[in-house]
């Protein structure tokens, strides 16, 4: 591979250049995003995004911001404190291969090993790794998997857990190893007894593997890269069947138990101490992935729960994070609360298939209690406290969606809950932490009791549950508050073990013998550094950039400008009509202040109700510049090059190396970079 030199700026009179791996001819033409709307950057957003990238990757923020990522001009970008890359994806079978087409300095996600930072010893020695110390499992695939959906942001920030928010001692959401590594243990019918194996899986592999164990009929569908294929278990199947842990036989029933935010290293330490006997019994009877199950990005609940249920990435099922901005309605959707979780189903794509829907497609629909013989035909499926519950015959969240006071757990009728269940939680801890341990303990009791009751009534009002998805919200909430290894968080693990033990005891022995059990989590958890309280919102305020920022996602609020009538010509009288719109909604913006500048000439105007403004001008210079601004938006700038037939252009349409403070850090010392910052002249290099 040949090298080219990218010259990015002038410092102390020296031209700074860096060797860049140049891709073979045509390699940069990767497969574009099929459903591209406004995710990533367009030409109007790019100048503002470049300012933010420079700020976030500067020495001032490098200790708490690991990297910034985006998509523009057909390629994915990842920017770190010591370099950046642009990469494209290309189809390879039913998946993707990835090619770096531009690199300046160090590749921020070069280390994607799954076997690093996977043990308690490593976690103890390095509780909060820096960007240079961390590893980023499956990073290319996870970044691509996010930006496939129109809800994806313009920029995504990967925060280091050194970024303390002033309240919580545990957090997740990162692309890094600790927060991205979830649990995957399978046991029972059809599963090999291999113990802990030195391999990794992905959360998207759970659904197709469970369906394979059940003997579900395959179908035609879409693979990870959108290609049509037969022999799939789901309409959109990004994951694969984990054949290496299966013995070739099938299971009559499947139980999936998800512990939200359970950290593999914490769990295994408790197992080693004999404090999780139920999990230990499953491990003795099955196989656990020692390097974990890698989450989708971001490593948060409402991106990964649906990915577990759908077997697809968040950019395909639609619930891209715990919160996201709906551009068309200009609404911040925040579904990450106990009172809002049940609304997640409203944001899931219809062309994806849940495990519940796949089971019914294969084994038939349960006809329900109104049928003359409710046991006669069809599969019965159960989802308890699971946001992605579409297609389940019984769902606790369905009660919350249809009750008179939606979201109130008290609306779940008592006859849907087992009366013999014994609470496992500590009332004293619940009093000390009512909004985390206290509330979530009660919710998890409901989840366990509902599953137990489903088995109580099996064979009476419905068939035995063929598929059960039982979600426990602990230990996530408590780990956030006290840290992943806080004593109250460890108690939450023991509580869950107690709940699962009671559920398994309720299942008849004959059914247990025919059942496969998946014990999983949705993401990991990392400790926070209390000594470093920082708020990344400060960057937006300092740079005076209009944006919606939430959970590390940044959605820029921009105007868009277009010349809709007239052709500017140097030295000739021209009547030009410009239209100014909201870049997100496409709606015209009235009352925007507009200017048209040509050399010393400067005309001013205001857009009308249709977002239009008209100027009459005889351009005298080689450049004609139109600008529009309005409160609550970043201004739009359109430049016409009148020296030739090049026409109009806007800032930011060239290579992302137009702003390279991050990459320069790999070439000059931090001190020298700070001294030279004001003197660097940034420009598009292509």
Over residues 272-305, the pLDDT tens digits come to 999 999 999 999 999 999 999 999 999 999 999 9
pLDDT of residue 133: 94
Binned at pLDDT 50, 70 and 90, residue 668 comes out as: very low
Q: What is the DSSP string of 583-615?
A: TTT--B-TT-EEEEEETTEEEEEE--TTSEEEE
pLDDT of residue 371: 61
Binned at pLDDT 50, 70 and 90, residue 62 comes out as: confident
Q: Which residues of 484-514 are buried (b: 16+ CB within 10 A; e: fewer)?
A: bbbebbbbbbbbbbbbbbbbbebbeeeebee
Q: Are 181 and 236 in contact (CB under 8 A)?
A: no
pLDDT of residue 168: 83
Least confident of 45-49, 250-254, 658-662: 658-662
pLDDT digit string, tens, across residues 173-226: 999 999 999 999 999 999 999 999 999 999 999 999 999 999 999 999 999 999
Report, as an integer, the average pLDDT of 681-686.
26
pLDDT of residue 645: 54
pLDDT of residue 162: 63
Report, as an integer, the average pLDDT of 438-456.
96
Rounded to 5 degrees, what are φ and ψ at 524?
A: -95, -155
Report, as an integer, the average pLDDT of 409-434.
91
pLDDT at 9 over 70: no
Alpha carbon distance 263, 489 (integer Å): 11
Average pLDDT, the chain: 88
H or E element: which one contains 560?
A: strand 559-565
Phi-psi region of 390 (alpha: psi -120 to 50; beta: other; left: phi over 0): beta
pLDDT of residue 681: 27
Least confident of 161-170, 410-419, 468-477: 161-170
Q: What percent of the chain has pLDDT over 90?
A: 78
pLDDT at 679 over 50: no
Three-state secondary structure call for residue 447? helix
pLDDT digit string, tens, across residues 340-389: 788 898 899 999 999 999 999 999 998 765 665 666 678 999 999 999 99
Q: Are 97 and 89 in contact (CB under 8 A)?
A: yes
Task: Measure the N-to-C terminal CA separation of the chain; round to a whole number of Å.
Answer: 20
Alpha carbon distance 426, 437 (integer Å): 9
According to DSSP, the β-strands at 526-527 and 170-171 are antiparallel
Report, as an integer, the average pLDDT of 85-109.
97
Q: Are 308 and 206 in contact (CB under 8 A)?
A: yes
Alpha carbon distance 198, 292 (integer Å): 9
H or E element: which one contains 317?
A: helix 314-317
Alpha carbon distance 136, 177 (integer Å): 6
| Biggest CA-to-CA distance, the chain | 91
Report, as an integer, the average pLDDT of 513-523.
98
Report, as an integer, the average pLDDT of 245-272.
98
pLDDT of residue 410: 64
Binned at pLDDT 50, 70 and 90, residue 647 comes out as: low
In angstroms, the Cα distances linking 472 to 187, 207, 257, 495, 503 are: 19, 18, 7, 10, 12
pLDDT digit string, tens, across residues 548-598: 999 999 999 999 999 999 999 999 999 999 999 999 999 999 999 999 999
Q: Are 520 and 183 in contact (CB under 8 A)?
A: yes
pLDDT at 59 over 80: yes
> In the chain, what are the helix, strand and coil shares in percent, each to the nearest 5?
30, 30, 45
How deeply is 87 buried, as exposed, middle or buried, from its count of CB atoms within 10 A (0-12, 13-18, 19+)? buried
According to DSSP, the β-strands at 553-556 and 323-326 are unpaired
pLDDT of residue 412: 83
DSSP state of 437: I
> Which tops the pLDDT comparison, 532 or 35?
35
List of residues 6+ apart from 233 with CB closer than 8 A: 207, 208, 211, 212, 216, 218, 219, 241, 311, 358
List of residues 6+ apart from 450 with CB closer than 8 A: 382, 384, 394, 396, 412, 416, 417, 418
pLDDT at 468 over 60: yes
pLDDT of residue 674: 34
pLDDT of residue 2: 28
pLDDT of residue 337: 72
Binned at pLDDT 50, 70 and 90, residue 114 comes out as: very high
Alpha carbon distance 294, 306 (integer Å): 14
Question: Could you tell me the pTM of the whole model?
Answer: 0.90
- The CA dihedral of 230, 231, 234, 237, to the nearest 10 degrees, is -80
pLDDT at 676 over 60: no
pLDDT of residue 160: 84
Binned at pLDDT 50, 70 and 90, residue 637 comes out as: very high
Report, as an integer, the average pLDDT of 123-133.
92
Q: Are 297 and 146 in contact (CB under 8 A)?
A: yes
pLDDT of residue 374: 64
According to DSSP, the β-strands at 253-259 and 515-521 are parallel
Alpha carbon distance 183, 526 (integer Å): 15
Token duo for residue 433: 């932490």
In angstroms, the Cα distances linking 208 to 30, 197, 234, 391, 669 are: 28, 20, 7, 16, 50
pLDDT of residue 16: 31
Q: Are 288 and 196 in contact (CB under 8 A)?
A: yes
pLDDT at 5 over 50: no
Q: Are 619 and 570 in contact (CB under 8 A)?
A: yes
pLDDT digit string, tens, across residues 478-492: 999 999 999 999 999
Report, as an integer, the average pLDDT of 313-330.
96
> For 481, how many CA atoms within 13 A lie in the half-sphere containing its CB?
19
Token duo for residue 584: 């997100």
pLDDT of residue 376: 64
pLDDT of residue 152: 98
pLDDT at 15 over 70: no
Token duo for residue 67: 């990297």
Binned at pLDDT 50, 70 and 90, residue 512 comes out as: very high
* Locus of tokens 């989590």: 521
pLDDT at 244 over 90: yes
Alpha carbon distance 662, 335 (integer Å): 34
Binned at pLDDT 50, 70 and 90, residue 409 comes out as: low
Domains and CATH numbers, the chain: 3-176+530-556+657-679 (no CATH), 179-312+341-527 (3.40.720), 559-633 (2.60.40)
Distance from the Cα of residue 101 to its chain's centroid: 24
């Amino acid at each position: 591979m040949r090298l080219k030199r990218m010259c990015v700026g002038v410092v102390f009179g020296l031209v700074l250049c860096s060797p860049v791996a140049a891709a073979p001819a045509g390699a940069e033409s990767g497969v574009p995003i099929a459903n591209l709307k406004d995710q990533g950057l367009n030409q109007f957003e790019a100048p503002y995004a470049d300012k933010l990238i420079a700020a976030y990757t500067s020495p001032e923020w490098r200790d708490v911001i690991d990297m910034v990522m985006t998509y523009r001009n057909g390629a994915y970008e990842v920017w770190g404190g010591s370099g950046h890359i642009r990469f494209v994806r290309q189809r390879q079978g039913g998946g993707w291969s990835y090619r770096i087409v531009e690199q300046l300095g160090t590749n921020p996600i070069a280390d994607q090993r799954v076997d690093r930072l996977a043990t308690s010893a490593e976690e103890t020695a390095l509780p909060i790794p820096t960007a240079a110390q961390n590893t980023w499992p499956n990073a290319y695939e996870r970044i691509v998997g996010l930006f496939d959906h129109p809800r994806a942001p313009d920029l995504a920030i990967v925060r280091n857990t050194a970024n303390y928010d002033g309240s919580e001692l545990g957090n997740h959401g990162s692309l890094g190893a600790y927060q991205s590594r979830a649990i995957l243990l399978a046991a029972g019918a059809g599963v090999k007894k291999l113990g802990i194996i030195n391999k990794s899986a992905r959360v998207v592999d759970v659904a197709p593997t469970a369906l394979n164990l059940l003997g579900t009929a395959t179908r035609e569908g879409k693979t990870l890269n959108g290609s049509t294929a037969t022999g799939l278990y789901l309409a959109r199947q990004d994951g694969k069947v984990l054949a290496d842990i299966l013995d070739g036989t099938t299971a009559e029933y499947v139980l999936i138990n998800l512990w939200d935010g359970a950290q593999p290293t914490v769990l295994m330490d408790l197992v080693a101490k004999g404090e999780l006997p139920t999990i230990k019994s499953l491990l003795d009877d099955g196989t656990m992935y020692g390097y974990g199950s890698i989450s989708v990005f971001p490593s948060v609940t409402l991106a990964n729960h649906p990915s577990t249920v759908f077997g697809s990435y968040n950019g395909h099922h639609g619930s891209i994070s715990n919160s996201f901005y709906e551009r068309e309605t200009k609404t911040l959707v925040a579904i990450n609360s106990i009172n809002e979780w049940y609304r997640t189903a409203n944001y899931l794509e219809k062309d994806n298939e849940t495990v519940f829907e796949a089971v019914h497609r294969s084994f038939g629909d349960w006809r329900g209690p109104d049928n003359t013989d409710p046991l006669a035909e069809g599969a019965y499926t159960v989802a308890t406290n699971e946001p992605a519950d579409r297609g389940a015959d019984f769902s606790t969240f369905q009660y919350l969606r249809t009750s008179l006071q939606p979201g109130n757990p008290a609306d779940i009728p008592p006859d849907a809950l087992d009366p013999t269940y014994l609470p496992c939680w500590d009332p004293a801890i619940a009093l000390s932490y009512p909004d985390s341990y206290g509330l979530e303990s009660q919710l998890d009791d409901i989840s366990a009791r509902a599953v137990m009751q489903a088995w109580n009534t099996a064979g009476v009002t419905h068939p035995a549950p063929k598929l059960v998805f039982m979600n426990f919200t602990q230990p996530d909430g408590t780990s956030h508050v006290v840290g992943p290894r806080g004593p109250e968080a460890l108690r939450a693990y023991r509580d869950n073990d107690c709940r699962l033990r009671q559920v398994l005891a309720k299942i008849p022995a004959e059914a247990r013998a025919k059942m496969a059990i998946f014990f999983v989590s949705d993401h990991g958890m990392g400790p926070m550094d209390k000594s470093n309280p920082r708020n990344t919102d400060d960057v937006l305020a300092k740079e005076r950039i209009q944006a919606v920022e939430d959970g590390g996602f940044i959605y820029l609020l921009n105007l868009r400008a277009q010349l809709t009538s007239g052709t500017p010509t140097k030295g000739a009288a021209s009547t030009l009509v410009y239209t100014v719109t909201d870049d997100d909604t496409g709606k015209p913006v009235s009352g925007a202040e507009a200017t048209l500048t040509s050399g010393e000439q400067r005309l001013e105007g205001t857009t009308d109700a249709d977002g239009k403004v008209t100027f009459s001008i005889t351009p005298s210079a080689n450049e004609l510049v139109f600008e529009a601004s309005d409160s609550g938006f970043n201004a739009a700038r359109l430049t016409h090059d009148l020296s030739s037939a090049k026409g109009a252009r806007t800032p930011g349409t060239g290579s992302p190396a137009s702003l390279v403070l991050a990459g320069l850090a790999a070439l000059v010392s931090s001190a020298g970079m700070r001294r030279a910052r004001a003197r660097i002249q940034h420009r598009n290099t292509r």
